[in-house]
Structure 1
Amino acid sequence: MNLILLSPADLEGDSLARVRDPRRLAHLHRVHRARPGDRLTLGVEGGGIGRGELLSLDEHEACFAIDALDQLPPPALPVHLVLALPRPRMLARSLEHVTALGVKHITLLHSRRVEKSYWQSPELATEKIQAHLVLGLEQARDTTLPAVTLAKGFRPFVEDRLPELLAERRGLLAHPGMPRACPRGLSDPTLLLVGPEGGFIPWEVEQLLAAGCEGIHLGPRILRVETAVTALLARLF
């Protein structure tokens, strides 16, 4: 936790915050080994970043005196990530990684090789997704939560949602065997589509290319989804 991320509910006015949830308290005790008088980096969800003094800490509550939170969070990546829904454990790690890298728009998509049971996973509960996003923000010292959308039908996504997304973005389909290598150093708004383990099926690839996406690859190696997404974002931006 490189940032103590405060929710609006933690604040008491402009200069005081109280943290009561067990996870953050445990981190302050066990990792930071914090003591009253320590100064730590604080941020407010959707707001600024600054420093604060720990006034008190016990097993029930941490109280901070807040300095001015006048630093901006790091800039977001100009990308909307469309990710075929990974298996639950991989989903958790992927959400944390892409949030730490600065992705602010995420669509989780169904495709033929996505197990239908994945959509019943507790990891898709709103509070679970929120928890993984917060971990990514704390890692990167960011305060702006990504927006996560679920798209449980491939065809409705391609027909109804994809044209709107591509209207103002360059669409890149990352898939093994595509003719073009992944580009570097982009700054324009981009839509990045990444398939499940095993990739999109040929029909799905055809539909995405026909809709206006460009096919790209990362080379001959087949990577796990979480590795591929991290490598793609690092290379693209």
Structure 2
Amino acid sequence: MNLALLFDEDLTGEGEARLTGRRLAHLRTVLGADVGDRVPVGRVNGDLGSADVVRLTDEYADLRFTLDQPPPAPLPLTLVLAMPRPKMFRRVLQTCAALGVKDLWLIHSLKVEKSYWQTPWLSENHLRENLTLGLEQAKDTLMPTVHVRKRFKPFVEDELPALTAGRRALVAHPGTDTPCPTYVNGPTLLCIGPEGGFIAYEVDKLVEAGCEPVHLGRRILRVETAVPVLVGRLFDACAPVY
């Protein structure tokens, strides 16, 4: 937790908040904070700043905070992602939030098992929890929006064409002729398939909706690896610093 993210329910007064649960445990055991220490904070969908710990008990930490810095700019990216396996879904959500993805669409595909949609990690509370972990990691406050679409064809025929309008639209698919572009940095839509990729019919439907097939070379990557590699390739803000 590089940032204590404050929700409306944490606020106890003007410029005051109370942390409990996971964030309190992190404050005490990982950061080793004590009364009088200053910690980085941010308000959900608001600014960043710092807070002084004014009271610390086994049950809660009271903070007095000031917010005076804008959060990092969001990526101009709409990410369309075939529903990942539940075991990796949490990590993918956290990664998307940490990278600055703000518009995430989870869709069905033939290779997505129907049981994936039954995972409790799709509940509103679990989505918020994992997106929060990603934002805290990246010191960001802007909460992503997650759209769930459990039927592939209605999504690509009825909704995707409007999403591709005005954006460079790409579908990552092994075996295509065009390598993924680098540092596009403008409005972009990116589709990433399930483990094993989209089937040919699905790629054709995505192309009909305005997507261009691109590849990352001959290596086949897991979804949790492909997401940061592709996003980092498309945007300067996510490029590694050496």
TM-score in terms of structure 1 length: 0.97
- Separation of aligned partners in 2, 1:57 and 1:177: 57
State the AA in 1 paired with 2:198: F
* Structure 1 position 135, deviation (Å): 0.1
Q: Which residue of 2 aligns with 1:222?
A: 220
Residues of 1 paired with 2:17 and 2:172: CA distance?
Answer: 43
| Cα offset, 1:12, TM superposition | 2.5
Secondary structure of residue in 1 paired with 2:105: strand
Aligned residue in 2 for 1:139: 137
The one-letter code matched in structure 2 to 1:186 is V
Shift of 1:197: 0.2
Distance 1:15 1:162 in 2: 42
- SS for the counterpart of 2:186 is coil
* Counterparts of 1:73 and 1:17, CA distance in 2: 19
For the residue of structure 2 that corresponds to 1:80, the secondary structure is strand
The CA distance in 2 between the partners of 1:126 and 1:178, in whole Å, is: 36
For residue 9 of structure 1, report the CA deviation from its aligned partner: 1.5
Q: Which amino acid aligns with 1:104?
A: K
What corresponds to 2:151 in structure 1?
153
Partner of 1:191: 189
Q: CA deviation at 1:168?
A: 2.2
1:4 aligns with 2:4: yes
Unaligned ranges ≥5, structure 2: 236-242
SS of the equivalent of 1:106 reads strand
Percent of residue pairs bearing the same amino acid type:
53
Give the AA of the match of 2:44: E
2:204 aligned residue (188, 203, 206)? 206
Specify the code of the residue in structure 2 equivalent to 1:201: I
Aligned residue for 1:180, secondary structure, equals: coil
Q: Is 2:205 the counterpart of 1:234?
A: no
Question: Residue 40 of structure 2 corresponds to which residue in structure 1?
Answer: 41
5 Å matches for 1:43-192?
43-67=42-66, 69-192=67-190
Deviations 1:57-93 (A, max 9, x none): 11211001112x0100001111000000000121100
Q: Unaligned 5+ residue runs, structure 1?
A: none
Secondary structure at 1:81 match in 2: strand
Q: Secondary structure at the match of 2:68?
A: coil
TM value normalised by structure 2: 0.95
Counterpart of 2:52 in 1: which secondary structure?
Answer: strand
User: Counterpart in 1 of 2:239?
Assistant: none
Aligned counterparts of 1:121 and 1:91: Cα–Cα separation in 2: 9
- Matched AA of 2:42: G
Distance 1:14 1:140 in 2: 26
Count of matched residue positions in the alignment of Structure 1 and Structure 2: 235
For residues 79 and 49 of structure 2, the distance between their equivalents in structure 1, rounded to whole angstroms, comes to 29
CA distance in 2, matches of 1:126, 1:13: 26
Output one character per residue of 1:121-155: Cα deviation in whole Å (capped at 9) or x when no partner: 11111111110000000000000000000010000
Distance in 2, matches of 1:160 and 1:65, equals: 48
